Homo-oligomer: A and B are copies of this chain.
């Protein structure tokens, strides 16, 4: 599939090079806008405007929306005012608003000049809402019906207005701008009588969000209720827009990426990996690295404090990495699980005792299993196979007890900290492996030396 697509892409690029524009155009019009946008990424900059002009108006606008920001800017700069107006007229309002948000000021000025007054008003309305809110995701183009309309009148209205609307399949019933119900095209088409009033078949137990609802919450509602679209209302329950499932899907993907980046100890990035410059990657990665490096000072201090113990029993040093590593892995398993469950709304703060109890029992199982295997491994491999006579039975016991205790500590703390972060209105994802690891490193050393000093008497 992907391979066939690449072969096709090469053929098209060759046509462009050989200036076979008519054949190229005939092929382009059979393609999907996303694929055409993908093709533009492979074209040299100076040829982009030329190839873009081959596309018929509607397809051109649809392709434009799918292109990356750099190509969009390049195109707008090459457009005449008239060409720009043609594209802007074809855009859906939410796409136009997204474009305005991403372009530099002088380009924005040109876009807004070419937009008709109604579009300009809608764009400005959407841009007024905070980033990551339902208001900033929504489109103001939806089909609104009155409750007294008959099924026939409703269908007629959809036929008249539908061409400019992002979705026609869910229509909203309003009275004095207030949202009072919704009716789907399926309901309208399957209605037995054409003269049934819309209010008799509309759904009134509405699920809606307000303009300020966080986009994460919007996504959760889509994945919970399987809606095609979700109405957005203002403080007085007046319908101001709708969010469609495709935008929710994009946000769902972005939110997962953001969680993963934060869990990996990075600042979340706006751009894809290949589009990020080296300096941008550096900026996103260095803060956590610095913070964690400096906070590792503690582990250094602990080791210094127990220098005497380490000198007395040199064999102890060799197990430090294993102890810290296993502790870190145990903790990050728990924190990652809890962070994801929080993201998916499967857990809430009130569950904290259930989490602690579950992690405690799981960690005791893991701790015992690891300690037993570790004890055997140290005795068989390190002592008998490698012949390290420094490792006594007592040292082995100290290592394994510290291991079990570290695992239990790491898992309980790893499971709890994301919930505490949530309670403090912080992003739970910051409590993931890098952070947990640093705490666990210090604590595992303390536990290790505690067991060593009490059992070995040093």
Contact = CB atoms under 8 A, between A and B. Distances in A.
B223 A289 contact: no
B290 A34 contact: no
A310 interface: yes
Given A205-B32, A362-B281, A321 B318 contact: no
**A interface SS class:** helix
A344 B335 CA distance: 24
B434 A292 contact: no
A369 interface: yes
Interface stretch (A73-81, A104-112, A118-126, A260-268): A260-268
B261 A336 contact: yes
Contact of A341 (B274, B304, B336): B274
A21 interface: no
A189 B159 contact: yes
Contacts of A205: 30-32
A199 to B, nearest CB: 16
Interface stretch (A50-58, A245-253, A450-458): A245-253
A361 B225 contact: no
Interface residues of A, number: 116
A393 interface: no
Interface in A71-97: none
A357 to B, nearest CB: 9
Given A320-B320, A354-B274, A314 B311 contact: yes
A394 interface: no
A344 B261 CA distance: 14
A246 B252 CA distance: 13
A105 B324 CA distance: 46
A185 interface: yes
A198 to B, nearest CB: 16
Contacts of A264: 332-333, 335-337, 433
Contacts of A228: 228, 245
Interface of A: 1, 30-32, 34, 155, 158-159, 162-163, 168-169, 185-186, 189-190, 204-205, 207, 213, 217, 222-226, 228, 245-246, 248-250, 252-253, 256-257, 259-261, 263-266, 272-274, 278-279, 281-282, 285-286, 288-290, 292-294, 296-297, 299-301, 303-304, 307, 310-311, 314, 317-322, 324-326, 328-330, 332-333, 335-338, 340-341, 344, 346-347, 351, 354, 358, 361-362, 365-366, 369-370, 373-374, 377, 381-382, 386, 388, 403, 407, 433-434, 437-438, 441, 445
